[in-house]
Structure formats: structure tokens, C-alpha cells
Amino acid sequence: MSTYKQIRGTTVQNNAGDYTGAVQGQLWYNSTAGSFQSRSFTTAGAWATGGTLNTGRNSSAGAGIQTAGMIAGGKEPPVGNTELYNGTAWTETTDMNSARRIHAAAGADNTAALYFGGYDDPVQILGLTESWNGSAWTEVNDLNTSRYGLAGAGIQTSSLAFGGYTGTAPTGATESWNGTSWTEVNDLNTARSALAAAGNVDNTSSLAFGGNGPTAITESWNGTSWTEVNDLNTGRSYLGGAGNQTSALAFGGLSPGYTGATEEWNGTSWTETTDNPISKSSFGSFGTQAAAIAAGGSPTPVLATTEEWLGAGAPVTETITTS
């Protein structure tokens, strides 16, 4: 009887946990899980079920990456609840100082993020900004223009806030955060609220797409001004966004009904790909084009479900059953 080494020309790797260096079809023994596992790679992007939120909600804001992300705030009613995601499960942690919904966020992971703007009941449109250090929130300098339904991009020390609703009309107001305060810069070409963003690097590059109408308009930020680029295939509002200026993902929203439509941006244009099986809007979103999260959302009653996106070419670990 042939051994694995005789067939494959190598012995089985022993690894404590997931073996991230494995190639297509490689077998290893996960000593932590006590099982044999192998690596494959997706041929097309797909959605899968993730961990369930501890507090179901819509109108929250998300920041980070799929394996180290967070959402905070939301409703019903407006809350400050904060939960951290480790790629498998959500953990409740310290609440925001100010409960809010329909706000925005920026952050590289769940240890450092910035949350800003939003809406609280009774009618109160917020410019409040809070900084997250991985365990606690600190109030910092407010936005110059209070608003809700805005979008955010960047990281905790270098962020961008744009669009939103001021209480009287949609705005294209754009503000840049330098780690201490907000500075007004050039507006979006098309004022709108309920839009999404991609931009996980800093305040010099971002993509703004969708919004109230609903609209399919997409604009690209170069650190100084916005330029209109190719539209989404499906115009929508209250959608999710992930990725960066040249490699983005747009998903879900109202168009005008709930949709699970998912589109990938390659730096030039949008391409339709696999829909989220749960059509929803107003959810917390974060991640990259290759690995994104859609947490909570509407319709009523509010959702606690989480969907994980794995783009084409993403690694998948499979457990091998032996007998």
C-alpha cells in the first residue's frame, strides 16, 4: 500500500492551527484541532454564513478586516453597543459614549478605529467623533458639518468623511482627519446620503458609490478632489462597501427594494458577481474585495445574521474525515 509520501513526494506537515503556507491540495495535520486538513482555493467569489451578532441591529457602522473587524452603534432604538469579530464569532465589548445610528467609521482593524457623525433620538444630528483603542472609546474633535447617512474611509489617524444628510438636504461635504481634527476639503461632485465607501489605506484615496435616489454614481478621491468614474451596474442606497480605491466590493442595499447584488471594482469599472443570498440594507460592512463582512441590517425585524464574502482565489481550509 502506497504512503502519502510515496504519492505526493512529501510527508504530512504538522502545524498548530491553520497552515497558511499550504498550496492547492496540500494535506497537513492541525495539532490544535486534532484533525487532518487540506487547502483549496475558490474559483469564483461566494458568500457564506458567519457568526451571529449578540445584538441584532441595523444602521450600524463597521471597520477593520474580516478576521479582525468591528461594528458599533445602530438601532432599534439607537445604541452604542460595540462588538468585535475574530473571523468566527462576535464578542461584546465597551459601548460607545454616544449612542447613534446611520453613522460612519474608518479603521485598519478592531484595535484602532474612528467613528463619526450619525443620528440619535429624539431628533439630533451628530458631528460627534469617537476614537477606539481596542478596549475603550474617547471623544475627540467633532466634524465641522453634523450629518447622518455619510460614508467614511481610511484609518484611525488618517480618515475621510463625505456625503450625508444635514437635516435639510443631502450634502457633498468632505472632511479630512489628521489624527487630531477635521478639515473641510473639496466636496463630492454629487451631493448624496446613504452611500458607501471603499478606502482602507488613508485619507488620500477613496471610492464613493451609490446613495439616495437610489443612484449608481461612483466617484474617486485622489487626496485633493473627486472625479466621476464608471457607475455601479445596480443603483442603490444604504449598501455596504469594502476594499480600496482600485479593488473594491459593493453589496446589498435598497434598489429600491432589498437586494443582495454584489459587484467588484477593478479600478476602472464594476462587474456583477455572486449575490448575497440574504437581500438586505443598512448593515455594518468592512473588509477587502477578497474578504468582506455584512453584519446585521434590515428588513424588520432587525437582523443578527453575518455573511462572509470570499473572493475568487481565496484560500479555503477543509477538514479531512478519516476512519
Same domain, 58 and 147: yes
Same domain, 33 and 50: no
Same domain, 67 and 20: no
User: Per residue in 190-221, pLDDT tens?
Assistant: 999 999 999 999 999 999 999 999 999 999 99
The grid coordinates listed for 148 are 447622518
- Output the CA–CA distances (angstroms, integers) from residue 278 to 88, 189, 209, 240, 287, in the order listed: 19, 32, 21, 13, 18
- According to DSSP, the residues that pair with 287 across neighbouring strands are 292
Comparison of pLDDT for 109 and 8, the residue scoring more: 109
Whole-number Å distance between alpha carbons of 323 and 11:
19
Contact residues for 314 (Cβ-Cβ < 8 A; gap 6+): 41, 42, 45, 290, 291
Same domain, 116 and 130: yes
Count of domains observed in the chain: 2
Same domain, 228 and 192: yes
Same domain, 168 and 271: yes
Residue 217 lies in a domain: yes
Residue 177 belongs to domain with CATH number: 2.120.10.80
Read off the pLDDT band of 7 (50, 70, 90). Answer: very low
Comparison of pLDDT for 319 and 228, the residue scoring more: 228
Percent of the chain with pLDDT over 90: 80
Same domain, 155 and 284: yes
The DSSP 8-state label assigned to residue 281 in this structure reads B
Same domain, 35 and 80: no
Same domain, 19 and 126: no
Residue 285 lies in a domain: yes
Q: Specify the pLDDT at position 2.
A: 55
196 is in which domain, residue-wise? 46-310
User: Per residue in 22-55, pLDDT tens?
Assistant: 776 778 788 887 888 887 666 679 999 999 999 9
Whole-number Å distance between alpha carbons of 261 and 254:
10
Residue 322 lies in a domain: no
Same domain, 160 and 297: yes
Residue 15 lies in a domain: yes
Q: What is the pTM of this model?
A: 0.87
Q: Are 217 and 190 within 8 A, CB to CB?
A: yes
Residue 318 lies in a domain: no
Same domain, 24 and 173: no
Whole-number Å distance between alpha carbons of 302 and 59:
10
Residue 317 lies in a domain: no
- Mean pLDDT for the stretch of residues 104-123: 96
Contact residues for 7 (Cβ-Cβ < 8 A; gap 6+): none
Amino acid in the structure at residue 226? W
User: Per residue in 256-297, pLDDT tens?
Assistant: 999 999 999 999 999 999 999 999 999 999 999 999 999 999
Residue 199 lies in a domain: yes
Q: Specify the pLDDT at position 204.
A: 97
- The side-by-side arrangement of strands in the sheet containing 137-140 is 104-109, 112-116, 129-132, 137-140
**In 3-state terms, what secondary structure has residue 7?**
helix
Q: Specify the pLDDT at position 4.
A: 46
Percent of the chain with pLDDT over 70: 93
Region at 21 (left for phi over 0; alpha for psi -120 to 50; beta for the rest): alpha
Evaluate if residue 108 carries a pLDDT over 80.
yes
Q: Specify the pLDDT at position 23.
A: 72
Same domain, 150 and 60: yes
Residue 319 lies in a domain: no
- Select from 274, 102, 271 the least CA-distant residue to 196: 102
